[in-house]
Amino acid sequence: MGDLVLSAVAHRIRGAIRDGDVAARLGG
């Protein structure tokens, strides 16, 4: 169960970083 959640979160983060959204937030 935990692995599935982490996988889903990682997939979502990768998609967001692809758009530069998360990258911008983490960058400040």
Provide the residue ranges of all domains of the chain, joining segments of one domain with +: 1-28
pLDDT for res 25: 73
pLDDT at 4: 94
Number of neighbouring beta carbons within 10 Å of residue 10 = 10
Task: Report the pLDDT value the prediction gives residue 10, as an integer from 0 to 100.
Answer: 87
Convert the pLDDT of each residue in 1-28 to its tens digit: 789 999 998 888 787 667 666 667 776 5
pTM tops 0.85, yes or no: no
Report the run of H or E that residue 13 belongs to, with start and end: helix 2-19
How many whole angstroms from its chain centre is CA 28? Answer: 16
